[in-house]
Chains A and B, each alone.
Chain A
Amino acid sequence: MENTKTGQISDAEEKSELHFQKKLPGFLTLKEVSKSFQTKAGRFDAIKNINLSIFTGEHVAITGKSGSGKSTLLNMITGIDHPDKGSVVINSTELHTLNESRLARWRGANIGIVFQFFQLIPTLTVLENLLLAMEFVNVIPARDRRNRAESLLEKVGILIHKDKLPAELSGGEQQRAAIARALANDPPLLVADEPTGNLDSRTGEAIHKLFENLAEKGKTVIVVTHENIQNLSYSRIISLNDGEIISDVKKGE
């Protein structure tokens, strides 16, 4: 797909590439992924030689204490950060082969990210936050975007707040809006970083329920959390400690 002359890809090419990839079964593979950071105290190995495969429709929890490497692992999966060693392959795409801009658009189409602090754009209304995400990626036809955004907001139960700015919403409502935005481009993979860490337990439960529903409908959902997850319905729980996977348990095993 890459134009060998310029190293760029055209819009049309990129669009078809995005759609093509979305048709593949959603799965994710990390091969011997390591990442370290240089700090004043010296070298810090955030994750060490991680090997991991996640399959379509799995509802995965990644847990661990603070500093165990959860967020770094999540950044590797989303392509927000690059591994020092190893590779990340999602939907047959090796993330390290994409440049920053292509990666951004690929990510917009294939991964929905939900942040702990919601990270909605404060100057746009809830609806506009969704529309902007769709406009960036441009895989949903322009005429369908508004309906889709409203239907997503209805699904997460905040349609009545569509014209409000994020600051006018409660924490739970903002996180619902963030989930709706993550789903805006209908990505096969949804990744959430401590999505309920900033919410009260009742609201947190409702958000977990939403993720559960999404996984049931075929999305691959990865949630990073340090909460007690015994009572939640994850299909798989991966525990990290000091940058290494110490357990990887699938429900029913």
Chain B
Amino acid sequence: MHGLIFAIAAGMFALYKKESFMNIKLKKAFSDLWVHPGRTLLVIFALVIGLWGVGTILVSYTILKNDLNENYLMSKPAHLVLTSKDFKKKALEDLILRPEIESAEFREFSLQRIEIFPDRWIPLWLYGVDDFRNFEMAKLFPEEGSNVPSPGTILIERNGMLVSNIKNGSVPEVRIGSKTIHVPVSGIIFDPAQAPATQDMFIYAYTDRNTYQNLTGEKINQRIILRLKNVSSRKEVSAFTERLIREFEAEEIFIDTVDIPKFNEHPHQWQLNTILSLEGVIGFLAFIMGMVLVSQLMGSILAGQIRTIGIMKAVGASSFAVFKIYVLMILIPGSISGVVAAPLAVKTGYAFAGFIAGKLNFNILTLELPVYFYVVFAFMAVFLPILFSLPALLGSVKISTLEALNDYGTSNELSSSASFFKFKILSYSSQLALRNVLRRKKRSAATIAMMALGVSIFSTGFNVRAALSDFLLDSRNSMKYDVQVVLKKQVSLDEALLPFKNLENVESIESWNGGTGRLQSKVISTGGGIGITALPYNSSLIKWNVIKGRWLNNTQQVEFVMNQQAAGLYENPEIGKMYDIHLKGKSVSAKLTGIVKEFDAPKIYFDKDVYDRLANPDHLVNSLLISAKNRDYEKVISLERNVEKAGANSELSILYIMSQAERGLIIFNHLNIILSILIFLSLLVLLVSALGMASSTGINVMERTREIGVMRAIGATPAGIYNLFVMEGMVTGLISITLGVMLALPMSYYASIFFGKLILGDATRLDFAFSFPGFLITVLVTAVFGFLASRIPARRAIQVSTREALSYE
């Protein structure tokens, strides 16, 4: 395709050189562009930048839109995961025979812990796989080393290598229950269905089911993954699941957990969707701004051609003939820009998509861009500049011969602007600068609008970032404990506290309980059932941001609170309504009292006493919340390591130990990629708008070359002229910043709502936040861009000699 583009370009050049083939109108179009090479280059540059930016976004969008999900789908993901202690091999054999089921297998799973660096442990998701040689679903793809783990070894998901020092051949320590063992890594695989380890801070490991049983000591045949035939939605999977569970119960097989992943959707698709939305919105704005810029430039070129149009009409050219010449004139830079920008856009688009793919742990599968990309790109390069230049073009060619012949480049817009700025305190040159800003009102308005839009998007980027940071800070501040220990099994309070009683720097330890349950919502919950946390309603360790209703306030009523992610599983959950919840095999009816804001999996909260009465008669606990006396970062990390060691030396089977600092980091990792791209794309828009300002000033300089000559002739110094243009730029910049920052306020408000819903779920809105550092950076960056944008053309203005300037036409 690139070859074709170059062939077209070469063909055009050959035609230009070979006069016999060269239509005289085309020659004129070329010559008009060639007569002011600087201005033509500016048009091409503006088009290349615009096309490059938009093309990059288009390329990466084309790749990303499909590739994450294609990666996910090529693994043939499971539609349903069931766990039960009552499964037997026969249950699986019966399932496989059912006509609704495409494939089913036992895929064991448990959470263990693995040492990723000395004394640094994170959760290990350990899977027991039935047959590595013959995957029918939830496929794994070999990357390095063995693709079938030899007995006693594990395969590690490739993304885990980015968060640890584990490699193929390593022998990391794995803590299983209260024992620590060394497990060799015999290969690296790619599991496209997993969330990236870099964000979730998990390591995924896979072994055969015998090794799994030997390592964990757990029973096997307790977890079945299924893939259904002829289903097209999660709803259909849910309906089948409800039927299946009833049938199992009839056979006295009681299902403990049900997990229906989002249908045919990668767990981190939401991140990609956010990025794609950002790309779409900002790309569109950048594109519009680029096109406004092109239309401005073309407008200015056409303004300089009015007399020529008059001459052509006088010697017999119809309006249509003139129109064709200038359409050709726009086609030429459009085609050249397309030829230059297309390969750049493809390169950077792939690079950007590769960056995102790396962050989200998937492979780029789109190796050839679809033909429609090139068609859209060619259309953008060739026809859109014409479309956007059409008003100026039609205005120019429709002008009467008489008006055209009498055009001396002066504007009718001049008269009214002079009276606006009569400030006695300003020098005449300053007043001139102010008046010049309004000299070409439409152009100035377009420049200011473009710059203000750039400023507002840039500023909005910072404000949304601040809103997300505030949200994270809220989340962090709402947790008043420093280290959390979560146990795999529930134990008595004394047993749980024993290893940690004498640790240094411990202020207090509070115990919570929890587990997973099943909500009787329209859609069965994800993640192995909904997370349930039972804590003292008046716990001082947690302070929720309640977005609807109220927090728990007593130990008597069977009430619960859900986070907004859980609320998202319902369609409009009602405060005060009774909901059925499955807790440890029995159904409980509880009243929803409130919804809290939390960046986590779907969770519900009960008062601990209420929960104990409902489902925990022995008052067991499985979570300890430790508050530090000294809460400095280093001291908390040191406490976490001591807790880790104390846990390792105890009989406790620990699921994970995590400090709040780490939790904050994990949450930040999830959002950081989006925030970074938001700022990057906002900067791109600001750059395009600064370019717009530079070209607008450039056009002003060109149009006023003769005037510069007159000023020089009557005594203006080069410095004086230079200052005049820089001052004009600064006035434009100042007005743009003021308007842009004002516009950023409502934009930030709505963008916060939009991104809050996209990132945190439908029930959550981010509160508007004003980023003062962002404001300062915006002002500073815009001022620098504005200064540069006026300085470069201003320098050119003073390089022209008085004689040249006076003779300029």
Give the residues in chain B near A122, CB-CB below 8 Å. Answer: 35, 308, 809
Q: B315-350 CB contact bits vs A (8 Å, 1 = yes)?
A: 111111100000000000000000000000000000
User: Does B31 make an interface contact (CB < 8 A)?
Assistant: yes
Give the residues in chain B near A105, CB-CB below 8 Å. Answer: 316-318
Q: Which of B27, B28, B320, B809 contacts A101 (CB 8 A)?
A: B320
Instruction: State the A residues within 8 Å of B (CB).
Output: 75, 78, 80-81, 100-102, 104-105, 107-109, 113, 115, 119-124, 128, 131-133, 135-137, 181-182, 184-185
Q: How far is the CA of A81 from the CA of B311 in the complex (A)?
A: 14
Q: Indicate if the CB atoms of B317 and A136 lie closer than 8 Å.
A: yes
Q: B8-35 CB contact bits vs A (8 Å, 1 = yes)?
A: 0000000000000001110110011011
Give the residues in chain A near B319, CB-CB below 8 Å. Answer: 100-101, 104
What would 12 A/B residue contacts be, using CB atoms closer than 8 Å?
A78-B314, A100-B313, A102-B318, A104-B313, A104-B314, A104-B316, A107-B316, A108-B316, A124-B31, A131-B24, A136-B316, A137-B316
Quick one: given A80-B405, A128-B24, A128-B28, are A121 and B311 in contact (CB under 8 Å)? yes
Give the residues in chain A near B400, CB-CB below 8 Å. Answer: 100
User: Does B402 make an interface contact (CB < 8 A)?
Assistant: yes
Q: Which residue of chain B is the closest to A110 with respect to CB atoms?
A: B316
Q: How far is the CA of A102 from the CA of B317 in the complex (A)?
A: 9
Q: Which residue of chain A is the closest to B19 with respect to CB atoms?
A: A128
Q: Which of A75, A81, A115, A132 contacts B24 (CB 8 A)?
A: A132
Q: Indicate if the CB atoms of A121 and B809 lie closer than 8 Å.
A: no
Minimal beta-carbon separation of B504 from chain A (angstroms): 85
Q: Indicate if the CB atoms of B31 and A123 lie closer than 8 Å.
A: yes
Give the residues in chain B near A137, CB-CB below 8 Å. Answer: 316
Give the residues in chain A near B318, CB-CB below 8 Å. Answer: 100-102, 104-105, 136
Q: How far is the CA of A49 from the CA of B495 in the complex (A)?
A: 118
Give the residues in chain A near B313, CB-CB below 8 Å. Answer: 100, 104
Minimal beta-carbon separation of B455 from chain A (angstroms): 39
Give the residues in chain B near A123, CB-CB below 8 Å. Answer: 28, 31-32, 34-35
Q: How far is the CA of A245 from the CA of B310 in the complex (A)?
A: 28
Q: Indicate if the CB atoms of B314 and A107 lie closer than 8 Å.
A: yes
Q: Which of B27, B28, B35, B401 contacts A104 (CB 8 A)?
A: B401
Q: Which residue of chain A is the closest to B807 with respect to CB atoms?
A: A167
Counting contact residues on chain B (CB < 8 A from A), the size range is 20 to 34
Q: How far is the CA of A91 from the CA of B43 in the complex (A)?
A: 46
Q: Which of B25, B311, B314, B402 contacts A135 (CB 8 A)?
A: B25
Q: Indicate if the CB atoms of B402 and A80 lie closer than 8 Å.
A: yes
Give the residues in chain B near A185, CB-CB below 8 Å. Answer: 316
Q: Indicate if the CB atoms of B25 and A132 lie closer than 8 Å.
A: yes
Give the residues in chain A near B307, CB-CB below 8 Å. Answer: 119
User: Does B673 make an interface contact (CB < 8 A)?
Assistant: no
Quick one: given A100-B400, A104-B318, A136-B318, are A121 and B24 in contact (CB under 8 Å)? no
Q: How far is the CA of A119 from the CA of B308 in the complex (A)?
A: 8
User: Does B312 make an interface contact (CB < 8 A)?
Assistant: yes
Instruction: State the B residues within 8 Å of A (CB).
Output: 23-25, 27-28, 31-32, 34-35, 307-308, 310-321, 400-402, 405, 809
Q: Which residue of chain B is the closest to A121 with respect to CB atoms?
A: B308
Q: How far is the CA of A123 from the CA of B317 in the complex (A)?
A: 17
Give the residues in chain A near B314, CB-CB below 8 Å. Answer: 78, 80, 104, 107, 113, 115, 119
Minimal beta-carbon separation of B80 from chain A (angstroms): 67
If over half of A's interface residues share one DSSP class (helix, strand or loop), that class is named, otherwise mixed; here it is helix
Q: Which residue of chain B is the closest to A167 with respect to CB atoms?
A: B809
Minimal beta-carbon separation of B306 from chain A (angstroms): 12
Which 10 A-B pairs have CB atoms at the shortest separation, nearest pair first? A108-B316, A123-B31, A101-B318, A137-B316, A136-B316, A136-B317, A133-B315, A119-B311, A81-B402, A80-B401
Quick one: given A75-B402, A122-B809, A124-B31, are A135 and B24 in contact (CB under 8 Å)? yes
Q: How far is the CA of A135 from the CA of B26 in the complex (A)?
A: 12
Q: Which residue of chain A is the closest to B404 with respect to CB atoms?
A: A80
Q: How far is the CA of A180 from the CA of B310 in the complex (A)?
A: 18
Give the residues in chain B near A124, CB-CB below 8 Å. Answer: 24, 27-28, 31
Contacts A100-B400, A121-B28 supplied; 7 other A-B pairs, CB < 8 Å: A80-B401, A104-B318, A104-B401, A122-B809, A123-B34, A132-B25, A136-B312
Minimal beta-carbon separation of B399 from chain A (angstroms): 10
Q: Indicate if the CB atoms of A104 and B317 lie closer than 8 Å.
A: yes
Give the residues in chain B near A81, CB-CB below 8 Å. Answer: 402
Give the residues in chain A near B310, CB-CB below 8 Å. Answer: 119
Give the residues in chain B near A182, CB-CB below 8 Å. Answer: 315
Most interface-central of B310, B400, B401, B809 (chain A CB within 10 A): B401
Minimal beta-carbon separation of A72 from chain B (angstroms): 10
Q: Which residue of chain B is the closest to A113 with respect to CB atoms?
A: B314
Q: Which of B308, B315, B402 contacts A108 (CB 8 A)?
A: B315
Give the residues in chain B near A133, CB-CB below 8 Å. Answer: 315-316
Q: Indicate if the CB atoms of A109 and B316 lie closer than 8 Å.
A: yes
Minimal beta-carbon separation of B413 from chain A (angstroms): 17
Minimal beta-carbon separation of B185 from chain A (angstroms): 71
Give the residues in chain A near B311, CB-CB below 8 Å. Answer: 115, 119-121
Q: How far is the CA of A113 from the CA of B316 in the complex (A)?
A: 10
Q: Which residue of chain B is the closest to A191 with respect to CB atoms?
A: B314
Q: Which residue of chain B is the closest to A18 with respect to CB atoms?
A: B316
Minimal beta-carbon separation of B408 from chain A (angstroms): 11
Give the residues in chain A near B32, CB-CB below 8 Å. Answer: 123
Give the residues in chain A near B316, CB-CB below 8 Å. Answer: 104-105, 107-109, 133, 136-137, 185
Minimal beta-carbon separation of A71 from chain B (angstroms): 10
Q: Indicate if the CB atoms of A181 and B402 lie closer than 8 Å.
A: no
Q: Which of A100, A113, A128 contacts B315 (CB 8 A)?
A: A113
Q: How far is the CA of A120 from the CA of B314 in the complex (A)?
A: 11
Minimal beta-carbon separation of A9 from chain B (angstroms): 11
Q: Which residue of chain A is the closest to B35 with respect to CB atoms?
A: A123
Minimal beta-carbon separation of B39 from chain A (angstroms): 13
Q: How far is the CA of A135 from the CA of B28 in the complex (A)?
A: 12
Minimal beta-carbon separation of A133 from chain B (angstroms): 4
Q: How far is the CA of A101 from the CA of B317 in the complex (A)?
A: 7
Q: How far is the CA of A128 from the CA of B27 in the complex (A)?
A: 9
Q: Indicate if the CB atoms of B317 and A108 lie closer than 8 Å.
A: yes
Give the residues in chain B near A136, CB-CB below 8 Å. Answer: 312, 315-318, 321
Q: How far is the CA of A162 from the CA of B721 in the complex (A)?
A: 40
Q: How far is the CA of A105 from the CA of B312 in the complex (A)?
A: 10
Q: How far is the CA of A109 from the CA of B425 in the complex (A)?
A: 60
Give the residues in chain A near B28, CB-CB below 8 Å. Answer: 121, 123-124, 128, 132
Q: How far is the CA of A175 from the CA of B495 in the complex (A)?
A: 109
Q: How far is the CA of A107 from the CA of B317 in the complex (A)?
A: 9
Give the residues in chain A near B315, CB-CB below 8 Å. Answer: 107-108, 113, 132-133, 136, 181-182, 184
Most interface-central of B24, B308, B312, B313 (chain A CB within 10 A): B24
Most interface-central of A75, A100, A184, A185 (chain B CB within 10 A): A100
Q: How far is the CA of A135 from the CA of B312 in the complex (A)?
A: 11
Q: Which residue of chain B is the closest to A112 with respect to CB atoms?
A: B315
Give the residues in chain A near B35, CB-CB below 8 Å. Answer: 122-123
Give the residues in chain B near A107, CB-CB below 8 Å. Answer: 314-316
Give the residues in chain A near B401, CB-CB below 8 Å. Answer: 80, 100, 104
Q: Which residue of chain A is the closest to B310 with respect to CB atoms?
A: A119
Q: Which residue of chain B is the closest to A184 with respect to CB atoms?
A: B315
Give the residues in chain A near B317, CB-CB below 8 Å. Answer: 104-105, 108, 136
Give the residues in chain A near B405, CB-CB below 8 Å. Answer: 80, 115, 119
Q: How far is the CA of A187 from the CA of B31 in the complex (A)?
A: 28
Q: How far is the CA of A66 from the CA of B35 in the complex (A)?
A: 35
Most interface-central of A75, A122, A181 (chain B CB within 10 A): A122
Give the residues in chain B near A128, CB-CB below 8 Å. Answer: 24, 27-28
Minimal beta-carbon separation of B626 from chain A (angstroms): 81
Give the residues in chain B near A113, CB-CB below 8 Å. Answer: 314-315
Q: How far is the CA of A107 from the CA of B318 in the complex (A)?
A: 10
Q: How far is the CA of A220 from the CA of B401 in the complex (A)?
A: 23
